[in-house]
Structure 1
Amino acid sequence: MYYLCAFNSNFSMLIALQDITFEFGARTIVEDSSWHIVPGDRVGLVGLNGTGKSTLLRIINGEYTISKGSINKIKNLSIGFFNQDLLSFETDDSILNVGMTAFEQALKVEKELEILTEKLEHSQDEALLHEYSDKLHEFDTLDGYNIRHKTATVLEGLGFSTADLERPYNQFSGGWRMRVLLARLILQQPDVLMLDEPTNHLDLPSIEWLEKYLSNYNGAVIIVSHDRFFLDRMVNKVVELYQEELHHYSGNYSAFEEEKVLRRELQQRAYENQQDYIRQQEKFIERFKAKASKAAQAQSIAKRLDKLERVEQVDGGPSKIRMNFSVDKMPGKILSTLEGVSKSFGNLHILSNASAEINRGDKIALIGANGKGKSTLLRVIAGTEPIEGNRTPGHNVVMSFYAQHQLEALHMDNEILEELKSCGSGKTEMELRSLLGCFLFQGDDVFKKIRILSGGEKARVALAKVIISQANFLLLDEPTNHLDMNSVEMLIDALGKYEGSLVLVSHDRYFVSRTANKIWEIVDGEIKEFKGTYAEWEEWKKRMAQQAQPPKPEKKSVAAPQQPAAKNPPIDKELKKELQKQQRQFQQLEEKIAKLKADVQQLETALGNPDVYSDKQKFRTAEEAYKQAGTALAQANEEYENVFEKVMELEAKVQG
């Protein structure tokens, strides 16, 4: 067994998969393949749906046993695995407490301290006091005083409000529960973090927060995701599961796609050259195998062909079938108008006297954090949500609405193909089967009853129905959630050619960037419109953020001495004053931390003093003082870091 030393950042290998083979029943998932995972790896594990990516993660996690090869891991390696199976977890505990279970050892020590405290109320045994002192030191070493703060920070980064933290876990929907479990996994900080579709349950702000977090993560990260933007920003390597082998690429997902095209071309040429060679050799064998003078040579060539390592033919790749949206009627110039619209749910105000207009040709992406009312606005536009104000539909508008709640409109006793036929689109069975192939329903899958389908499969059927609806106005709520990358590409292509208009909600930035020509945001109850693509909107947001920052002080001109020297702008003086204030606070905090450290050490010594632990009241007082000093030290350290960052930022602004 290799790699038996303990993990550290300088070690060159965490996990080694060497010539592994794994069969799932009669089907081979991976054969004679190797993969070495090292610290700092950011790996995107990719492949067509059904090739076995999630299965490979379970092999690494030790859930499945390989039939051939070896898997070697360093001693005491910790692996965190985020996947859909985690949803089986149930508890009435608060989400804050669920997240804090990541700190298993610190919580264990805290519990032991509580038990020891109870014992010390009835006994002044010296051994007991020494044990208590040791446990206090261990709790401090484990940063036990900060675990609540750390957990709250990660949960809030993933979209929870401060008020949510004390709510029971079981009160949240599946998507929000997955966020809690992702937070717990992040807080555990395993040596290898494996994430299976982590962005499926996150809104854009939460995805951006996760990207920042993972960028600074010390361990290795393996990601399975259909989110191309996320992969491009996160990974520095790509491993593709293709033709039962693992193929390794350097760079992000875009680099992988370019390199893969070149490799496939080379493989296809090698295959064709080898096939030419084989045909020539087989002709020779066929011609001379019965001729005495050439029989031995023909037999030798036949043996050589038997031993020849065959080059695999490049498969046709993902389906190239095109989705096509047909438009039955041409609508008027204005498809929908909202005037003075207000919408609230109790104390939650979504829209307040908001107005907007959707014109023919608009392809609008409605973006923002979860809870801002994006799906509610879609329902308002659709006319299915009661409002205050006016909603006026345009002339000749034929609308089709895709959303999770639309799954209820599916006929549960219909087969998939039958459900699409019932729409009256006029498409042939072959056309409908081709379309269903785009949505991952192959062969006899089209004869499955709707009622036995998973939620994701039902969503794909509902989306297929939208495509054949011949509507000229589409409302799409997270249409890519259950699609693979190939299907997303086909949907993008179809929407690009679509002659109608649409409003979509999606957290898939790649999808939004390729489909939308306008961006909508709900800000303070109003609908804010940006006329442009997602990339242009992002650039505009950056410019606005930069303009909002205080201007840098102007530098004195040397080239024009005849002019009086310009006075520093008022903001420069204010910056300097603020810098001096923060520097004084920084110095005071340094002194405070030094004093608190001394207090903690002194109190820790006092707890082991016989004069203290033999007196019950003195011990309780010293114990309480020690806890308070530890908490104060943790808070001071946190404040110290914040002030240090402010000082650095202000120094940079003052220096220009």
Structure 2
Amino acid sequence: LLLDEPTNHLDLDAVIWLEGWLRAYRGTLLMISHDRDFLDAVVGHVAHIEGRRLKLYTGNYSAFERARAEQLALQQAMYVKQQREIAHLKSYIDRFRAKATKARQAQSRIKALARMEEVTAAHVDTPFEFRFFEPVGSPDPLLMLEDAAAGYGDTAVLQGLTLTLRPGERLGLLGRNGAGKSTLIRLLAGESAPLSGIRREGKGLKIGYFAQHQLEQLRPDESPLWHMNHLDPRTRDQDFRNYLGGFNFHGEMATSPVGPFSGGEKSRLALALLIWQKPNLLLLDEPTNHLDLEMRHALTLALSEYEGAVVLVSHDRHLLRTVCDNFCLVADGGLKPFDGDLDDYRKWLDQPQEAKSGAKVSPADTATPAPPPAPERKPSGKARALEKEIGQLEKRMAQLASEKQKLDARLADPALYQPAAKADLQACQQRQTEVAGELAGTEAAWLAAQEKLEKSE
């Protein structure tokens, strides 16, 4: 199975479903993805391409990051050591090459220098360097909805919306595909008016709104530099060039037409335009679509340091965990606080199928009495065996998850990366890989047993 960015344009619930399906998949999987949590849950090896070479790492993405960090630290130490040795050899050659008594030794060192396999300096390819400007003069509250309804035309998708956004608030919106998250963001941004109720802005509110449709509003025949000048004609071109460089628009790319740009490049430009306007409220609807891991990481860091308010819709769980302090659930045509984290949201999505897909009762049907419940059937011997197997698998998953958490905490200790602890580090990494593999296999077996149990019923 070959997958190239399978989570792009999927909502979080679809990503979670696909993640579960791929973990139960028995075939070979080769995948490109920029979703850290998705990679952590699904893959057991990472193939890293750098400098036109491919290197295979064992473990998930987090294990790859730790192994590569250790490798880069070792490479840098070897580079520094080799540079000292090269400097010493060159010094000797320069001093004694012209002396007859030392000519043979000097030639020997020249040959040694030529044979030496050069160690390159360790570096991480991260072409992005930007941050949000500090918001100035934020009103309190920033924005309020009072019993508002949102939708399209005369059709209300959401009703009874009451929300107060204050400076520094960091809110994530959760909900199934089609529940109305983007509709709510559009209402908050002022892109659509409330069908009823009130939307009230604080004096001095400055909104930064990002959504995928904004990429289509970029002028295809104009350049990133033109877009910046159009936004702020008073700023010098060189200042814009320096700023755009932080989004990896260097040299000719800053003056090239936007039309041929990739989706990721257009998203970076849209974010650059948004950040330049110094908003005190960010409304972000799937900002990581099309972005690679390096840009996602840079955006996550910038948002975590941003001092203004954020309302975020995203299928990127790493971004949601890092940026959001609170969550709201968009469901059943309304908005309510969600008392929990993303793990609790996964459990909410995994509610019994009848609770998820039960038909809505129309007003005409409310007077019809419900049929009497079917007599409860006792589980068959096969079903009882499956239930016992599921219980054992769940117990083992809990044990493995606990051990993995302890190993992750151990591997986060900087002391473990000292030279004296190398053997302990290798043992921890090996055990972490073993635990991750066993946990993935146990979860796949649990899913298979659940499917068998559903069929037996």
TM-score (norm 1): 0.52
Structure 2: tracts of 5 or more residues without a match? 355-372, 384-448
Of 27, 30, 44, 1:219 maps to 27
1:423 and 2:231 are equivalent in the alignment: yes
| Native 8 Å contact 1:439 1:483 kept in 2 | no
Inter-partner Cα distance in structure 1 for 2:290 and 2:349: 35
Q: Deviations over 1:511-537 (max 9, x none)?
A: 1111112212221101122266xxx24
Aligned twin of 2:202: 395
Distance 1:541 1:461, change over 3 A: closer
Inter-partner Cα distance in structure 1 for 2:269 and 2:300: 17
Distance 1:342 1:430, change over 3 A: closer
Aligned twin of 1:325: 133
Structure 1: tracts of 5 or more residues without a match? 1-192, 550-573, 587-640, 650-656
SS at the partner of 1:258?
helix
Aligned twin of 2:403: none
Aligned twin of 1:197: 5
Of 251, 267, 285, 2:75 maps to 267
Q: Deviations over 1:554-602 (max 9, x none)?
A: xxxxxxxxxxxxxxxxxxxx99x7342x53998xxxxxxxxxxxxxxxx
| Native 8 Å contact 1:232 1:253 kept in 2 | yes
Q: Deviations over 1:132-180 (max 9, x none)?
A: xxxxxxxxxxxxxxxxxxxxxxxxxxxxxxxxxxxxxxxxxxxxxxxxx
Structure 1 residue 297: deviation in Å? 2.7
SS at the partner of 2:67?
helix
User: Structure 1: which amino acid aligns with 2:270?
Assistant: A
Of 538, 560, 570, 2:343 maps to 538
| Native 8 Å contact 2:170 2:311 kept in 1 | yes
Structure 1 residue 546: deviation in Å? 8.8
Q: Which structure's CA Rg is the greater one? A: 1
Inter-partner Cα distance in structure 2 for 1:483 and 1:540: 25
Aligned twin of 2:89: 281
User: Structure 1: which amino acid aligns with 2:3?
Assistant: L
| Native 8 Å contact 2:127 2:248 kept in 1 | no
* Worse-superposed segment, 326-335 or 210-219: 326-335
Aligned twin of 1:375: 182
Of 370, 375, 380, 1:583 maps to 380
Structure 1 residue 543: deviation in Å? 8.4
| Native 8 Å contact 2:264 2:292 kept in 1 | no
User: Structure 1: which amino acid aligns with 2:344?
Assistant: E
Inter-partner Cα distance in structure 1 for 2:116 and 2:451: 68
SS at the partner of 1:356?
strand
Structure 1 residue 386: deviation in Å? 4.2
Inter-partner Cα distance in structure 1 for 2:267 and 2:66: 32
| Native 8 Å contact 2:39 2:61 kept in 1 | yes
User: Structure 2: which amino acid aligns with 1:286?
Assistant: D
Q: After TM superposition, where is structure 1 displaced by more than 6 Å over at least 4 residues in a row?
A: 543-549
Aligned twin of 1:230: 38
Inter-partner Cα distance in structure 1 for 2:124 and 2:349: 47
Q: Deviations over 1:102-126 (max 9, x none)?
A: xxxxxxxxxxxxxxxxxxxxxxxxx
Structure 1 residue 264: deviation in Å? 0.7
| Native 8 Å contact 1:415 1:450 kept in 2 | yes
| Native 8 Å contact 2:263 2:290 kept in 1 | no
The alignment of Structure 1 onto Structure 2 pairs a total of residues equal to: 374
Distance 1:435 1:520, change over 3 A: farther
Distance 1:324 1:425, change over 3 A: farther
Aligned twin of 1:437: 245
Structure 1 residue 299: deviation in Å? 1.9
Inter-partner Cα distance in structure 2 for 1:277 and 1:642: 62
Structure 1 residue 426: deviation in Å? 6.9
Q: Deviations over 1:187-231 (max 9, x none)?
A: xxxxxx232211113221221122112112222222221111111
Of 142, 145, 168, 1:337 maps to 145
Distance 1:273 1:342, change over 3 A: closer
| Native 8 Å contact 1:339 1:355 kept in 2 | yes
Aligned twin of 1:297: 105
| Native 8 Å contact 2:130 2:247 kept in 1 | no
SS at the partner of 1:332?
coil
Of 320, 340, 347, 1:512 maps to 320
1:447 and 2:255 are equivalent in the alignment: yes
Distance 1:643 1:229, change over 3 A: closer
Inter-partner Cα distance in structure 2 for 1:544 and 1:449: 43
Structure 1 residue 344: deviation in Å? 5.3
Inter-partner Cα distance in structure 2 for 1:232 and 1:431: 40
1:364 and 2:162 are equivalent in the alignment: no
User: Structure 2: which amino acid aligns with 1:302?
Assistant: I
Structure 1 residue 316: deviation in Å? 5.3
| Native 8 Å contact 1:425 1:470 kept in 2 | no
